[in-house]
Structure 1
């Protein structure tokens, strides 16, 4: 398996992940997936423009769930944006609905790697992704709750 990473959700968190991966030369291939394909294409172009300053060459592109088949890692950062005054727990039901769709698409792709969850609330969404996926618990991990704890 090559070092291919997919990021699902190209909002601020997803693009922070992507930018960090480019700057650290984490993978050979980085695929960006989002419901807003046009935005994702623009983000991929922007990241490609910065590759000359990255520590390694990378293939970066806007893709879809079919591109997950040979990925080693999928980072899920997608989720509904909170409405002003809502807490992360207030968005839980909407977030679970989004996660169901994402996990269904991941499973349909034949993906056989690790899922990293950054969608809030992280612990609950990680548990939901694990249960929805049916994957072994070692394959579905959360990014941590330092922000929630603070």
Structure 2
């Protein structure tokens, strides 16, 4: 893969760019933000990390969409994060305008990218980006399936005192209260989780997964960024 662009150099976007660089699977990561010096500074900081962590992905920061030209993948993290007491749906009006504008700017410079949406409320923003892009629906997606499944696996690993790497899980539905973790399709090193935990404990973990993002907002006063950035 040649080029990935991350739109938004806030906590989630910067984390996404940094994680992607560490994987060393793309030649260049472009980090774009309307605050150009913020994107340039974070990209430069990550690039200076390369000799320490031994990766060769080059990072570029910018506020100019021309620098995103011919991107293979574009990750949209731009938008207003949640604050305590807010639901994801409270962000629809503001973030829809941002995501639509970002998508239109992307498409002026990249003809057929894959677009991955992170902005909340994620399911609605993914639809908005798809409509604005004119791309086939298979090329526009949200990252929530990865994030929600990761949270579910992390909570199970904590309860069982095992590595998250040993847990295989399936989670369906939207990003929020409508998500549906599936314990009967969840295993720990091949052993069904229903044989390792009682139904009450599993249900508590399922409920915690559904409000996993809200728990972090309450703790930090804003939306999470490490796991969402890595999930994207």
Report the counterpart of residue 98 of structure 1 in structure 2.
Answer: 98
Deviation at 1:56, TM superposition (A): 3.3
* Structure 1 moving runs of 4+ over 6 Å: none
Aligned pairs (5 A) from 1:1-150? 2-63=1-62, 64-145=64-145, 146=148, 148=176, 149=179, 150=209
- Contact map agreement 1:24 1:55 (CA 8 A) in 2: no
Superposition TM-score, scaled by structure 1 size: 0.90
CA distance in 2, matches of 1:109, 1:67: 9
Q: Distance in 2 between matches of 1:38 and 1:82?
A: 24
- Deviation, 1:83, is 4.5
- Deviation of 1:23 after TM superposition, in Å, equals 1.5
**How many pairs were matched up?**
149
More helix by share: 2
Distance 1:131 1:88 in 2: 20
Contact 1:122 1:142 in 2 (8 A): yes
Deviations 1:19-72 (A, max 9, x none): 211221121101000111111111011101101134431221113211222211
* Bigger radius of gyration among the two: 2
- Segments of structure 1 that go 5 or more residues without pairing to the other structure are none
Tell me the SS of whatever aligns to 1:89. Answer: helix
Which has the higher mean CA deviation after the structures are superposed, 108-117 or 22-31? 108-117
The Cα of 1:3 is off from its aligned counterpart by 1.7
Moved more, 21-30 or 77-86: 77-86
Q: Is the 8 A contact 1:22 1:54 kept in 2?
A: no
Q: Which runs of 5+ in 2 are unaligned?
A: 152-175, 180-208, 210-232
Q: CA RMSD in A?
A: 1.7
**Aligned partners of 1:57, 1:14: CA distance in 2, in Å?**
19
What does the per-residue CA deviation read over 1:64-120, in whole Å, with 9 as the maximum and x for residues that have no partner? 211222211000011113344221100111010101110111122244211011111
Moved more, 53-62 or 100-109: 53-62
